[in-house]
Chain A
Amino acid sequence: MNASTNDTVSTEVRDYVAGVRAALSDLTVEDVEEFTTGMEADLAERLAEQGEGTLRDRLGDPDAYAAELRSAAGLPPRVPVAPARTSAAEQLSTWWTGVSRSVLGQVPWLRDLRPVWWAVRGFALAAAPALVLGVPIIWLGLLGAMVSIALGLMARHGRLSGGWVGPVRVMGNITAVLLLPVALVMVVDAPDPYANDPTWAEPQYSSGAGLTYDGEPVANVYAYDESGRRIDKVRLLDQNGRPLKVSEDALTSADDMGDVDLMRDSRTGELDIARDVFPLRWNGRTGWERMYDREWEPPMAITPLPGPVPSVEASPTPSPSATPQATQTSPGAGATATPTPTPTTSVSR
């Protein structure tokens, strides 16, 4: 006989009887009692025999069982209940039962794959927390699969009881089916473990290093004085006394011919160019040439600033034939005033 003594009627049986009772709830109390007295014992005995599946597997759902019971007993089929009594969850449960029964009816061997479904549904259901938490699905998925298999085994051996088991199972199955594509996408699109590894990061522009203007790196500076003349080999200091310096990156990116890179010191790798003496020059350049891919060329002179122009003595290069009469009104003509040769008029003979 039954091995268990205290829990002689397993919870699965009680669960089933409760289901049948519910399906017969429109009958009188005596009728229901007539049917269900002894049902527990009979079902328990049925279950104790040949072990191939749960009571539901062997006998069908309690609803179907109750319907067969009524029809054999000559009682009318269940009066359709008022809509208010069938909650959405119950209707969903009924629909799912119908669908699964028809599917299993056509492909009966699917029943044997039930444990596989347990694992799959557990994995799929883990997609929801994985999405919310933003973690990879693989570990939650495995955990979910194990929990689901455990629950399935528990249900099969009758350790799960209570009215909540049925609806939760149905909702879980439906949710798992809906989440399955999501879970598959998450498995395929698993985040790249190297995404944030700095070793693999591409070198970035050191933004802000070196001289910039309006956020853009400056590669060269050309200076002109108030007369509009070029100033060569100029050094500029900021308000803190720091020499304005062009960054190596700005310089190398302005040079698309690779000349700048030739100026690297083979030992230290540093550019052997004075980056704070403007205009920058290297490799035989004067500094006043056009920068490589640009159309703009530094002019010989630019517009002088308004106002009186200082005397020529201020010019750094002394003029060999500077006449004392170099007046202040003469507009600066670029470089030192070249001595104008006294025109010799030759009378033609």
Chain B
Amino acid sequence: MSLIFDADIAPASSLLRDGVTDKNNNEIIIVETSTPSLRVFNMSTKAQRGSNVTVLSSPAGVTLLTTASAVVISGTVTTYDLVELSSLTRQNYTGGNIAATIEKGQQIAGNTSLEIAFGTSSTAGNLVKFTNSFPTPVSIIQPPALSGSTATTIITKGSNWLIGTNRGQVLEINSSGIVLDILSIDNSPNIGASGLETPIVAGLSVANDFLAITTSQGLLYVYNWLTKTMLYKQPIGDSQSISGRGTVLCESSSGVTIFGNNKNVFDNNVAIELDFIQSPPQMRDILFTDSNGFVVASGINPNTAKAWILQQTVNKIRFFDVSARVTSTRNTRIESPAGTSVRGRIIRIIDNGVGNTQIELDSAIDNQTTNFPVSSGKSIIEIAMTDSGINEKFSVSQYNT
């Protein structure tokens, strides 16, 4: 069992909408639409710090912009809030956009080192860029590759961002909003391709070069981001409504993400710990809540191995302890001939002795050094393959981690 229930918080007079983990202060910052307010809770003691901060109407998303401030966006108004977190003072600003949807997290994501955040917009083609730079802290970015699409899901990826859209794409952008890379979700295999709904990205989580995607149509995909190779696809349950909602993921901790169903389900909703670096991806644990209410957002503090979900109907913040797989980093690349990096496939096998082996990793690899996490304390057999057919080449190595 790797997901252990810790405790609940039921913030009074609230309708939860989104949250963000402040790793440095071991806090969770949530926004709710009943008051509406922003509230800060300690993830260990569960105590609220300070009082509720009244924010703009219908808050749809919250993220850290700096280590000392948070941005709040709305599902109904174009203004946005900056909240100074130590004093819990709020300032409202004009110049934003209405967020793409409500009751689904991952609509705004910030990089506190760069002091930049990007948020979704209900206007097709728009991204909203928030900075700590005054007098013009906000701007509307319109990447050409986003033209005609609505950004529905945003997460950070190192110093860049990944933008999921309502046209089945994931774009990687830099801090200037320049599109660096694009992935188009492959709906194969399928029957009746022309009649299939275009996937709407609802959740994203990235770890090393692995990307987990969930859609409003109720599918979970795992891709190798560098090679754009689909590694896994399975049903995961659809959403309450199709307009941009769906199961959200959260930032990963060593390839582990947490999520719950984004609709009112039958009997009991769940919190799920997904390790999407393993092959195939493993739901390492499924925890049963006492409510059928839908989950709007989730998060992990990797510093403390504590995770949370926001569950409506009961309006609770639920905390869990997560026992992630212990991994170490291992740089890998394929050279053929020696000195020339090439694309290929890596298979790693955990060798526990004759008759007791299992696959840990099976992924495409790009023509560059790639860090694939590997389980610690194991004996590993690693197979590298490149080319195909009569030109297929193999290399085998064995090592202990």
Asked if A and B bind, the verdict is no
